[in-house]
Amino acid sequence: MEELKFLTAGMPLRTDKKKGYSDAFNVLQEMDLDGIEVEFVQGVRMSENSRKLVKNASDKLTFTAHGPYYINLNAREQEKIDASITRIVDTATVANEFGGYSITYHAAFYLGNDKDIVFKRVVEQTSKIIEVLEKDNNKIWIRPETTGKGTQWGTVEEIVNLSKEFKQVLPCVDFSHVHARSGGGFNTYEDFCNILDKIGTELGDIALSNFHAHLAGIAYSDKGEKNHLPLQDSDMNYQDLLRAMKKFDVKGVVVCESPNIEDDCKLIKEYYKSL
Ligand SMILES: [Zn+2]
Protein backbone atom coordinates (compact mmCIF):
# COMPACT_ATOMS: atom_id res chain seq x y z
CA MET A 1 0.00 0.00 0.00
CA GLU A 2 1.17 3.54 -0.73
CA GLU A 3 -0.38 5.05 2.39
CA LEU A 4 -2.45 4.41 5.48
CA LYS A 5 -6.19 4.08 4.72
CA PHE A 6 -9.06 4.44 7.17
CA LEU A 7 -11.95 1.99 6.84
CA THR A 8 -15.29 1.56 8.58
CA ALA A 9 -16.16 -1.85 10.06
CA GLY A 10 -19.25 -2.56 7.97
CA MET A 11 -21.24 0.12 6.19
CA PRO A 12 -21.37 3.52 7.90
CA LEU A 13 -24.39 3.96 10.19
CA ARG A 14 -25.64 6.86 8.06
CA THR A 15 -26.06 4.51 5.09
CA ASP A 16 -29.57 4.26 3.71
CA LYS A 17 -30.04 0.52 4.33
CA LYS A 18 -32.42 0.19 1.39
CA LYS A 19 -29.78 1.46 -0.99
CA GLY A 20 -26.93 -0.51 0.58
CA TYR A 21 -23.41 -0.21 -0.77
CA SER A 22 -24.13 2.46 -3.36
CA ASP A 23 -25.25 4.81 -0.57
CA ALA A 24 -22.45 3.64 1.76
CA PHE A 25 -19.93 4.84 -0.84
CA ASN A 26 -21.63 8.28 -0.90
CA VAL A 27 -21.26 8.51 2.88
CA LEU A 28 -17.59 7.55 2.66
CA GLN A 29 -17.01 10.15 0.00
CA GLU A 30 -18.78 12.88 1.97
CA MET A 31 -16.72 12.06 5.04
CA ASP A 32 -13.45 11.54 3.14
CA LEU A 33 -13.06 7.93 4.37
CA ASP A 34 -11.22 5.27 2.41
CA GLY A 35 -13.21 2.04 2.41
CA ILE A 36 -15.07 -0.71 4.29
CA GLU A 37 -14.26 -3.93 6.08
CA VAL A 38 -17.06 -6.19 4.88
CA GLU A 39 -18.38 -8.09 7.91
CA PHE A 40 -19.17 -11.75 7.39
CA VAL A 41 -19.64 -12.22 11.13
CA GLN A 42 -22.79 -14.38 10.86
CA GLY A 43 -21.68 -16.25 7.73
CA VAL A 44 -20.12 -15.60 4.33
CA ARG A 45 -23.18 -14.19 2.57
CA MET A 46 -23.17 -11.36 0.06
CA SER A 47 -25.56 -10.77 -2.82
CA GLU A 48 -24.34 -10.83 -6.41
CA ASN A 49 -25.29 -7.17 -6.70
CA SER A 50 -23.28 -6.14 -3.60
CA ARG A 51 -20.26 -8.07 -4.87
CA LYS A 52 -20.46 -6.20 -8.16
CA LEU A 53 -20.85 -2.80 -6.50
CA VAL A 54 -17.85 -3.41 -4.24
CA LYS A 55 -15.76 -4.77 -7.11
CA ASN A 56 -16.54 -1.72 -9.25
CA ALA A 57 -15.59 0.61 -6.40
CA SER A 58 -12.39 -1.24 -5.54
CA ASP A 59 -10.18 0.86 -7.82
CA LYS A 60 -11.00 3.94 -5.73
CA LEU A 61 -11.85 2.52 -2.30
CA THR A 62 -10.11 -0.15 -0.19
CA PHE A 63 -11.94 -3.26 1.01
CA THR A 64 -11.14 -5.97 3.51
CA ALA A 65 -13.29 -8.73 5.02
CA HIS A 66 -13.86 -10.06 8.53
CA GLY A 67 -14.57 -13.79 8.73
CA PRO A 68 -17.46 -15.33 10.70
CA TYR A 69 -17.19 -15.35 14.51
CA TYR A 70 -17.83 -19.05 14.63
CA ILE A 71 -14.31 -20.22 13.82
CA ASN A 72 -12.12 -22.44 15.97
CA LEU A 73 -9.08 -24.10 14.39
CA ASN A 74 -8.51 -25.84 17.75
CA ALA A 75 -11.99 -27.36 18.04
CA ARG A 76 -12.22 -30.85 19.54
CA GLU A 77 -14.39 -32.17 16.72
CA GLN A 78 -12.85 -32.59 13.27
CA GLU A 79 -16.07 -31.41 11.60
CA LYS A 80 -15.89 -28.10 13.47
CA ILE A 81 -12.28 -27.66 12.39
CA ASP A 82 -13.24 -28.43 8.79
CA ALA A 83 -16.16 -25.97 8.95
CA SER A 84 -13.79 -23.32 10.31
CA ILE A 85 -11.36 -23.87 7.44
CA THR A 86 -14.25 -23.59 4.98
CA ARG A 87 -15.42 -20.31 6.54
CA ILE A 88 -11.94 -18.79 6.25
CA VAL A 89 -11.47 -20.04 2.67
CA ASP A 90 -14.94 -18.74 1.71
CA THR A 91 -14.16 -15.33 3.25
CA ALA A 92 -10.90 -15.20 1.28
CA THR A 93 -12.59 -16.32 -1.93
CA VAL A 94 -15.40 -13.75 -1.83
CA ALA A 95 -13.02 -10.98 -0.72
CA ASN A 96 -10.64 -11.81 -3.55
CA GLU A 97 -13.52 -11.72 -6.04
CA PHE A 98 -14.57 -8.24 -4.92
CA GLY A 99 -11.01 -6.91 -5.14
CA GLY A 100 -10.27 -7.05 -1.39
CA TYR A 101 -6.86 -6.34 0.10
CA SER A 102 -6.94 -8.55 3.17
CA ILE A 103 -9.09 -10.79 5.36
CA THR A 104 -9.06 -11.27 9.12
CA TYR A 105 -10.63 -13.68 11.62
CA HIS A 106 -10.38 -14.90 15.20
CA ALA A 107 -8.52 -18.15 14.69
CA ALA A 108 -9.03 -20.34 17.77
CA PHE A 109 -9.83 -20.89 21.43
CA TYR A 110 -7.38 -22.61 23.77
CA LEU A 111 -10.11 -24.77 25.41
CA GLY A 112 -7.69 -25.32 28.28
CA ASN A 113 -5.09 -26.95 26.02
CA ASP A 114 -1.35 -26.37 26.29
CA LYS A 115 -0.48 -23.21 24.32
CA ASP A 116 2.35 -24.87 22.36
CA ILE A 117 0.00 -27.64 21.24
CA VAL A 118 -2.65 -25.12 20.18
CA PHE A 119 -0.03 -23.21 18.19
CA LYS A 120 0.97 -26.39 16.33
CA ARG A 121 -2.67 -27.14 15.55
CA VAL A 122 -3.27 -23.63 14.24
CA VAL A 123 -0.17 -23.99 12.02
CA GLU A 124 -1.41 -27.34 10.73
CA GLN A 125 -4.90 -26.05 9.89
CA THR A 126 -3.56 -22.81 8.41
CA SER A 127 -1.38 -24.83 6.04
CA LYS A 128 -4.58 -26.47 4.71
CA ILE A 129 -6.12 -23.03 4.13
CA ILE A 130 -3.02 -21.80 2.29
CA GLU A 131 -2.93 -24.95 0.18
CA VAL A 132 -6.46 -24.31 -1.13
CA LEU A 133 -5.74 -20.62 -1.78
CA GLU A 134 -2.55 -21.46 -3.68
CA LYS A 135 -4.48 -23.90 -5.84
CA ASP A 136 -7.01 -21.12 -6.54
CA ASN A 137 -4.21 -18.61 -7.21
CA ASN A 138 -5.78 -16.41 -4.53
CA LYS A 139 -3.06 -14.13 -3.14
CA ILE A 140 -5.12 -12.07 -0.68
CA TRP A 141 -3.49 -11.45 2.73
CA ILE A 142 -4.67 -13.93 5.37
CA ARG A 143 -4.63 -12.45 8.85
CA PRO A 144 -5.45 -14.01 12.17
CA GLU A 145 -6.37 -11.21 14.55
CA THR A 146 -4.99 -10.43 17.99
CA THR A 147 -7.84 -11.33 20.34
CA GLY A 148 -9.40 -9.58 23.33
CA LYS A 149 -9.72 -12.39 25.86
CA GLY A 150 -7.28 -14.73 27.57
CA THR A 151 -9.39 -17.76 26.54
CA GLN A 152 -8.80 -16.98 22.84
CA TRP A 153 -5.66 -17.90 20.95
CA GLY A 154 -4.08 -14.74 19.52
CA THR A 155 -1.47 -12.78 21.44
CA VAL A 156 0.81 -10.51 19.38
CA GLU A 157 3.57 -13.10 19.91
CA GLU A 158 1.42 -15.97 18.63
CA ILE A 159 0.17 -14.09 15.58
CA VAL A 160 3.71 -12.95 14.67
CA ASN A 161 5.02 -16.50 15.07
CA LEU A 162 2.25 -17.89 12.85
CA SER A 163 3.04 -15.23 10.24
CA LYS A 164 6.65 -16.47 10.11
CA GLU A 165 5.39 -19.86 8.90
CA PHE A 166 3.54 -18.63 5.80
CA LYS A 167 4.34 -16.02 3.16
CA GLN A 168 0.67 -15.18 2.70
CA VAL A 169 -0.04 -14.71 6.42
CA LEU A 170 0.48 -11.39 8.23
CA PRO A 171 -0.94 -10.09 11.52
CA CYS A 172 -4.16 -8.17 11.97
CA VAL A 173 -3.32 -6.18 15.08
CA ASP A 174 -6.44 -5.17 16.98
CA PHE A 175 -4.76 -2.70 19.33
CA SER A 176 -7.93 -2.37 21.41
CA HIS A 177 -7.97 -6.13 21.94
CA VAL A 178 -4.30 -6.15 22.93
CA HIS A 179 -5.02 -3.38 25.45
CA ALA A 180 -8.16 -5.06 26.84
CA ARG A 181 -6.67 -8.54 26.99
CA SER A 182 -3.90 -7.31 29.27
CA GLY A 183 -6.46 -5.61 31.54
CA GLY A 184 -5.33 -2.10 30.63
CA GLY A 185 -1.71 -2.42 29.48
CA PHE A 186 -0.28 -1.76 26.01
CA ASN A 187 -1.57 1.78 25.86
CA THR A 188 1.49 4.06 25.77
CA TYR A 189 3.53 5.43 22.88
CA GLU A 190 6.39 3.20 23.94
CA ASP A 191 4.14 0.10 24.05
CA PHE A 192 2.83 0.78 20.54
CA CYS A 193 6.37 1.38 19.23
CA ASN A 194 7.47 -1.92 20.80
CA ILE A 195 4.70 -3.85 19.01
CA LEU A 196 5.49 -2.22 15.65
CA ASP A 197 9.22 -2.69 16.16
CA LYS A 198 8.70 -6.39 16.92
CA ILE A 199 6.59 -6.86 13.78
CA GLY A 200 9.07 -5.00 11.57
CA THR A 201 12.07 -6.82 13.05
CA GLU A 202 10.59 -10.32 12.99
CA LEU A 203 8.53 -10.16 9.78
CA GLY A 204 10.36 -7.51 7.78
CA ASP A 205 9.38 -4.14 6.31
CA ILE A 206 6.72 -5.84 4.18
CA ALA A 207 4.64 -6.33 7.34
CA LEU A 208 4.72 -2.60 8.18
CA SER A 209 4.05 -1.44 4.63
CA ASN A 210 1.10 -3.88 4.33
CA PHE A 211 -0.49 -3.43 7.72
CA HIS A 212 -4.01 -4.27 8.92
CA ALA A 213 -5.09 -2.76 12.23
CA HIS A 214 -8.35 -2.64 14.15
CA LEU A 215 -9.10 0.24 16.49
CA ALA A 216 -12.08 1.12 18.72
CA GLY A 217 -12.82 2.41 22.15
CA ILE A 218 -13.12 -0.57 24.46
CA ALA A 219 -14.41 -1.58 27.89
CA TYR A 220 -12.64 -4.42 29.69
CA SER A 221 -12.25 -6.26 32.96
CA ASP A 222 -9.41 -8.40 34.28
CA LYS A 223 -10.81 -11.13 31.97
CA GLY A 224 -10.28 -8.90 28.95
CA GLU A 225 -12.64 -7.40 26.38
CA LYS A 226 -16.22 -6.57 27.40
CA ASN A 227 -17.58 -4.37 24.61
CA HIS A 228 -16.63 -1.63 22.19
CA LEU A 229 -17.17 2.05 23.04
CA PRO A 230 -16.78 5.36 21.24
CA LEU A 231 -13.09 6.29 21.50
CA GLN A 232 -13.77 9.38 23.56
CA ASP A 233 -15.74 7.36 26.16
CA SER A 234 -12.81 4.98 26.66
CA ASP A 235 -9.20 5.10 27.80
CA MET A 236 -7.86 3.83 24.44
CA ASN A 237 -4.85 6.02 23.67
CA TYR A 238 -5.46 6.26 19.93
CA GLN A 239 -3.43 9.46 19.64
CA ASP A 240 -0.16 7.83 20.69
CA LEU A 241 -0.96 4.74 18.62
CA LEU A 242 -1.33 6.89 15.50
CA ARG A 243 1.85 8.79 16.38
CA ALA A 244 3.69 5.46 16.62
CA MET A 245 2.22 4.31 13.29
CA LYS A 246 3.41 7.55 11.71
CA LYS A 247 6.88 7.16 13.19
CA PHE A 248 7.19 3.61 11.82
CA ASP A 249 5.79 4.79 8.46
CA VAL A 250 3.05 2.14 8.63
CA LYS A 251 1.06 1.71 5.42
CA GLY A 252 -2.07 -0.37 4.89
CA VAL A 253 -5.44 -0.13 6.63
CA VAL A 254 -6.83 0.91 10.01
CA VAL A 255 -10.39 -0.37 10.46
CA CYS A 256 -12.49 1.54 12.98
CA GLU A 257 -14.80 -0.73 14.98
CA SER A 258 -16.27 1.81 17.43
CA PRO A 259 -20.10 1.76 17.79
CA ASN A 260 -20.21 5.25 16.20
CA ILE A 261 -18.31 3.69 13.31
CA GLU A 262 -17.80 6.49 10.80
CA ASP A 263 -17.51 9.32 13.33
CA ASP A 264 -14.60 7.67 15.12
CA CYS A 265 -13.12 6.64 11.78
CA LYS A 266 -13.10 10.29 10.76
CA LEU A 267 -11.72 11.30 14.16
CA ILE A 268 -8.72 8.98 13.82
CA LYS A 269 -8.12 9.84 10.17
CA GLU A 270 -8.14 13.56 10.90
CA TYR A 271 -5.86 13.09 13.91
CA TYR A 272 -3.44 11.04 11.82
CA LYS A 273 -3.44 13.62 9.01
CA SER A 274 -2.72 16.38 11.54
CA LEU A 275 0.54 14.70 12.64
ZN1 LIG B 1 -12.31 -9.15 14.95
2-57: per-residue pLDDT in tens? 999 999 999 999 999 999 999 999 999 999 999 999 999 999 999 999 999 999 99
Model pLDDT, residue 265: 98
201-219: per-residue pLDDT in tens? 999 999 999 999 999 999 9
C-alpha of residue 145 to centroid of ligand 1, in Å: 6
C-alpha of residue 105 to centroid of ligand 1, in Å: 6
C-alpha of residue 267 to centroid of ligand 1, in Å: 20
C-alpha of residue 66 to centroid of ligand 1, in Å: 7
The angle subtended at Cα 269 by Cα 3 and Cα 190, nearest 5°, is: 80
Tell me which residue of 237, 219, 215 sits closest to 228, measured CA to CA.
219
Alpha carbons 76 and 87: distance in angstroms, whole number: 17
Alpha carbons 213 and 238: distance in angstroms, whole number: 12
C-alpha of residue 45 to centroid of ligand 1, in Å: 17
90-126: per-residue pLDDT in tens? 999 999 999 999 999 999 999 999 999 999 999 999 9
Cβ–Cβ under 8 Å, residues 122 and 75: no
C-alpha of residue 50 to centroid of ligand 1, in Å: 22
Assign a CATH topology to domain 4-274. TIM Barrel (3.20.20)
117-151: per-residue pLDDT in tens? 999 999 999 999 999 999 999 999 999 999 999 99
Q: How many CA atoms lie within 13 A of 148 on its CB side?
A: 19
Model pLDDT, residue 259: 98
Mean pLDDT of 159-175: 98
C-alpha of residue 41 to centroid of ligand 1, in Å: 9
Alpha carbons 69 and 10: distance in angstroms, whole number: 15
Cα end-to-end distance, the chain, whole Å: 19
Residue 94's CB is within 10 A of a number of other CB atoms, namely: 20
Domain boundary assignment for the chain = 4-274
